[in-house]
Amino acid sequence: MKVLVTGGLGFIGSHTVVELQNKGYEVVIIDNLSNATLNVLDGIEKITGIRPEFEKLDLRDKEKVIDFFNRHKNIEGIIHFAASKAVNESVNKPLLYYENNLNTLIFILQQMAERSLQNFIFSSSCTVYGEPDELPITEQAPVKPALSPYGNTKQIGEEIIRDNTKAHNIKSIALRYFNPIGAHPSGYIGELPRGVPQNLVPFVTQTAIGIREQLQIFGNDYDTPDGTAIRDYIHVVDLAKSHVVALERLMNNNNKKAYEVFNIGTGQGSSVMEVVKSFEKINNVKLNYKIVGRREGDVPAIWADTSLAEKELGWKAELTLDDALRDAWKWEKNIRDAKNFK
Ligand code: UD1
């Protein structure tokens, strides 16, 4: 059975390719390499022993995408990661985000309808909930107005998929990720942000290795036990596995509705300070950090109620925050060693 993974060389995509291969699926990746490198294919091959099929392709290039589908007639499912994901950048380049994240989504769904392809998994985000009224947050919680064009593309993306599912014979699942962190325990694939990392854990590992001088902790005056903001950090390998079970649910017709949504987190909140302290302890390193003011747009606390995913998908996060921080650090050290080596 062949699965198409768009954006399959990215952080979550590459880990999902590994889990698909581990379960015996044949994978074809398309990626425009805008935020990934071809070395990722080597990393995947080192882990699974199989080099996935890959085509460099930008989903905005419609003719090439049509040609791709014409040449790949045996695709059973699509996991769609390809999208831009930098919140700040999206504020400055909204049209790029709407074009890149939504036009391409519409085009893929059109291709699926034309070709009677049925099974579609979408990367959504807990950002659709905005600031939660109740914690932990369930899938029934209201979707709040988006704080950034990026967040809006996830909300609108979900709506497009929902409406499309009603009109066409397509089954879809949107997975609302909480905060993906970590790396493959082998150290062969992981997160590789371009430029200065915006997310916490890559900033932590880059500070620990000396690329960044100091981590800034954005705010310690939140209404949380230690004053720093709380998130639900999920190991990327656990997150990757959720895609495989979600896809199998659709392929085996075990879905209850044509369009379903699941929270994908651990169900546990950790504060920024807890992340910093856990990182220092598990890796036995000291981190240079200071407390600064809050970052605009950050919610004080959010973590997932994951009972629906557990019940319906039979999926539950198994790895801990410590596992993720240990693996993120191993990956950071590996890539820096490799660079020095070159
Ligand atoms: C952000 C986005 C979310 C997106 C996700 C993945 C917002 C509001 N949310 O999540 O939509 O899906 O990234 O790209 O932008 N922190 C520091 N210092 C740092 C970096 C982060 O203290 O240098 C803190 C933040 O204030 C936050 C926590 O660490 O409390 C996690 O931040 P981050 O990793 O950026 O993720 P989110 O903001 O939760």
Distance CA 340, CA 8 (A): 27
Question: Candidates 85, 129, 198, 239: which one to mutate for ligand 1, based on the most atoms within 8 Å of Cβ?
Answer: 198
- Quick: pLDDT tens for 276-323: 999 999 999 999 999 999 999 999 999 999 999 999 999 999 999 999
R_g of the chain computed on alpha carbons: 19
pLDDT at 295: 95
> What atom of ligand 1 comes closest to residue 218's alpha carbon?
22
Task: State the average pLDDT over residues 262-277.
Answer: 98
Q: What burial class does residue 309 get, using C-beta atoms within 10 Å of its C-beta: 0-12 exposed, 13-18 middle, 19+ buried? A: buried
Establish if 160 belongs to a structural domain.
yes
Report if residue 12 sits inside a domain: yes
Residue 283 resides in a domain? no
Are 268 and 229 in contact, with CB atoms under 8 Å apart? no
Note the pLDDT of residue 339: 62
224, part of any domain: no
Instruction: Compute the mean pLDDT over every residue in the chain, rounded to the nearest whole number.
Output: 96
Q: Give the residue among 322, 80, 337, 316 at the shortest CA–CA distance from 185.
A: 322
**DSSP symbol at 228:** S
SS3 for 51? coil
Quote the Cα angle for 63-64-67, to 5°. Answer: 90
pLDDT of residue 215: 98
Instruction: With a cut of 60, say whether residue 331 has pLDDT above it.
Output: yes
Q: Which domain does 169 fall in, by range?
A: 2-181+233-265+303-318
What is the mean predicted confidence (pLDDT) over 334-341? 71
Average pLDDT over residues 150-170: 95
Instruction: Give dist(CA 104, CA 161) in Å, integer.
Output: 12
Say whether 62 sits in a helix, a strand or coil.
Answer: helix
Q: Percent of the chain scored above 70 by pLDDT?
A: 99
Q: Please answer whether residues 245 and 315 qualify as being in contact, where contact means their C-beta atoms are separated by less than 8 angstroms.
A: yes
d(CA 309, ligand 1 centre) in Å: 23
Q: Which atom of ligand 1 is nearest to the CA of 203?
A: 23
Domain count for the chain: 1
Does residue 42 fall inside a structural domain? yes
Q: Cβ contacts of residue 327 below 8 Å, gap of 6+?
A: 182, 183, 184, 185, 187, 190, 235, 237
Over residues 27-34, the mean pLDDT reads: 97
Confidence grade of residue 342 (pLDDT, cut at 50, 70, 90): very low
In one-letter notation, the amino acid at residue 92 is: N
What CA–CA distance (Å, rounded) separates 21 from 60? 27
Alpha helices by DSSP H, listed for the chain, are 11-22, 39-48, 62-71, 87-92, 94-98, 104-114, 149-167, 200-209, 236-251, 272-283, 307-308, 321-341
C-alpha of residue 286 to centroid of ligand 1, in Å: 22
* Residue at 249 is within a domain: yes
Which residue lies with its CA nearest to atom 29 of ligand 1?
200
Q: What is the mean pLDDT of residues 146-162?
A: 96
Mutate which of 213, 218, 274 for ligand 1? The one with the most ligand atoms within 8 Å of its CB, which is 218
Whether 78 is covered by a domain: the verdict is yes
Place of tokens 């998908």: 313
Give the β-pairing of 233-235 and 289-292.
unpaired
pLDDT of residue 341 exceeding 50:
no
Domain membership of residue 260 (yes or no) is yes
Pocket test for ligand 1, best of 148, 295, 325 (most atoms within 8 A of CB): 295
pTM above 0.95, yes or no: yes
3-state SS class at 44: helix
The answer on pLDDT for 324 being more than 80 is: yes
**pLDDT tens digits along 122-148:** 999 999 999 999 999 999 999 999 989
Q: What percent of the chain has a predicted confidence (pLDDT) above 90?
A: 95
Residue/partner pairs of 199-204 with CB below 8 Å, 24 or more apart:
200/231, 200/272, 200/275, 201/233, 201/275, 201/324, 201/325, 201/328, 202/328, 204/275, 204/276, 204/279, 204/287, 204/325, 204/328
pLDDT confidence tier of residue 337, bands split at 50, 70 and 90 = confident
Copy the structure tokens of residue 318: 């198994």
- Cβ contact 283:201 at 8 Å: no
The answer to whether 102 and 163 have CB atoms below 8 angstroms apart is no
- Residue 1 pLDDT: 86
Give the 3-state secondary structure of 144-205.
CCCCCHHHHHHHHHHHHHHHHHHHCCCEEEEEEECEEECCCCCCCCCCCCCCCCCCHHHHHH
Give the amino acid at 102: L
Protein residue with least CA distance to atom 18, ligand 1? 217
Pocket of ligand 1 (CB under 6 A): 85, 87, 125, 127, 147, 151, 179, 198-200, 203, 215-218, 229, 231, 272, 295, 297-298
Residue scoring higher pLDDT (157 or 336): 157
pLDDT for 97 equals 97
Which residues does the annotation mark as catalytic? 150
pLDDT of amino acid 169: 87
What CATH number is attached to the domain comprising 96? 3.40.50.720
How many residues are given for the chain? 342
Distance (angstroms) between ligand 1 centre and the Cα of 87 equals 9
Distance 143 CA to ligand 1 centre (A): 19
